[in-house]
């Protein structure tokens, strides 16, 4: 079975606030569907599918809050609430398209990684984190280019946990920036003990890892938070 999963959150913003934006929700919906059709075409071309072959399409949407909001009050606390027009279009997409999925407590990014990991789905997304964490090909629908899976997803998660993400309210290791994160990854002798030594406490380290990971959800088991026994490199 060949499958395409579209991380639709940013796509919604694109049709509302992009260069060809419209204030009419019906026109926004049609523009969204046009982008989806373009992604289907690009995927069928990549996979060299015949006309009679079926491509399973899933459109992924995020709920208002997720498990990360329960873990940390700072998670995305500095972001403005979704604008009414965004919520309205999201609601319309979910109402009209039975292939649109919203999973309680789970972001669209997490769902994309789950479908990539567990079902081999090709991903359509522009989020840099999804591109790094996916285990299948990712199509950037802004640049119209494909990206191959990263070489070492685990090292990327470690790097991201050290660096943090200010836009999402993830602190990272205090005083450690890109150079420190990259230096840690570049040293193959660095392990779990060296990693937690970068933080003020082991609990801080674990919290950061849980906030950045996008592979903690499965449709069978729900959310399984990362624990130290899951640490691995190479």
- Token pair, residue 36, equals 């989806």
Cα–Cα distance, 231 to 234 (Å, whole number): 10
- Token pair, residue 77, equals 């606390």
Other residues' Cβ atoms within 10 Å of the Cβ of residue 181: 20
CATH topology of domain 153-230: DNA polymerase; domain 1 (1.10.150)
Cα–Cα distance, 193 to 177 (Å, whole number): 19
Q: Domain residues of the chain, as ranges?
A: 2-147, 153-230
The tens digit of pLDDT for each residue in 12-67 reads 999 999 876 778 999 999 999 999 999 999 999 999 999 889 999 999 999 999 99
- What is the DSSP code (8-state) at residue 222? E
Homologous superfamily of domain range 2-147: 5'-nuclease (3.40.50.1010)
**Per-residue pLDDT at 219 exceeds 90:** yes
Beta bridge partners of residue 100, listed in sequence order = 59
Residue identified by tokens 């380290």 is 205
pLDDT value for 23: 86
**Per-residue pLDDT at 182 exceeds 90:** yes
> Are the CB atoms for 208 and 68 separated by under 8 Å?
no
**Per-residue pLDDT at 186 exceeds 90:** yes
Residue 223, helix vs strand vs coil: strand
The tens digit of pLDDT for each residue in 109-120 reads 999 999 999 999
For the residues 89-94, what does the mean pLDDT come to?
97
Q: What confidence category does residue 231 fall into, taking pLDDT thresholds of 50, 70 and 90?
A: very high
Alpha helices by DSSP H, 97-226 = 108-119, 128-133, 153-163, 178-186, 192-196, 202-212
Helix, strand, coil percent values for the chain (each to nearest 5): 45, 15, 40
Establish how many alpha carbons lie within 13 A of residue 94's alpha carbon, considering only the half-sphere containing its beta carbon. Answer: 14
**Per-residue pLDDT at 185 exceeds 90:** yes
Ramachandran bin of 155, using left for φ above 0, alpha for ψ from -120 to 50, beta for the remaining angles: alpha
Residue 46, helix vs strand vs coil: helix
Residue identified by tokens 């579209």 is 6
Cα–Cα distance, 125 to 138 (Å, whole number): 7
For the residues 128-156, what does the mean pLDDT come to?
92
pLDDT value for 151: 77
Q: Which residues contact residue 233 at a Cβ distance below 8 angstroms, ignoring those fewer than 6 apart?
A: 152, 154, 155, 158, 188, 190, 191
């Amino acid at each position: 079975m060949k499958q395409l999963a579209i991380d639709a959150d940013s796509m919604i913003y694109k049709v509302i606030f992009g260069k060809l934006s419209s204030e009419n929700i019906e026109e926004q919906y049609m523009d969204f569907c046009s982008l989806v059709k373009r992604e289907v075409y690009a995927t069928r071309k990549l996979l060299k599918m015949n006309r009679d072959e079926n491509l399973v399409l899933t459109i992924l949407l995020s709920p208002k809050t997720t498990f990360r909001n329960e873990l940390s009050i700072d998670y995305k606390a500095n972001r403005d609430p979704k604008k009414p027009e965004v919520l309205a279009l999201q609601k319309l997409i979910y109402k009209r398209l039975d292939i649109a999925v919203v999973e309680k407590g789970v972001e669209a990014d997490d769902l994309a990684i789950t479908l990539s990991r567990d079902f081999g789905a090709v991903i359509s997304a522009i989020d840099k984190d999804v591109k790094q964490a996916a285990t299948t090909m990712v199509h950037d629908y802004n640049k119209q280019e494909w990206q191959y899976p990263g070489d070492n997803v685990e090292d990327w998660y470690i790097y991201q946990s050290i660096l943090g993400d200010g836009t999402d309210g993830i602190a990272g290791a205090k005083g450690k920036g890109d150079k420190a994160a990259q230096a840690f990854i570049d040293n193959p002798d660095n392990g779990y003990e060296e990693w937690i030594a970068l933080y003020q406490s082991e609990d801080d380290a674990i919290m950061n890892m849980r906030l950045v990971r996008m592979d903690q959800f499965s449709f069978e088991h729900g959310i399984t938070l990362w624990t130290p026994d899951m640490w691995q490199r190479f």
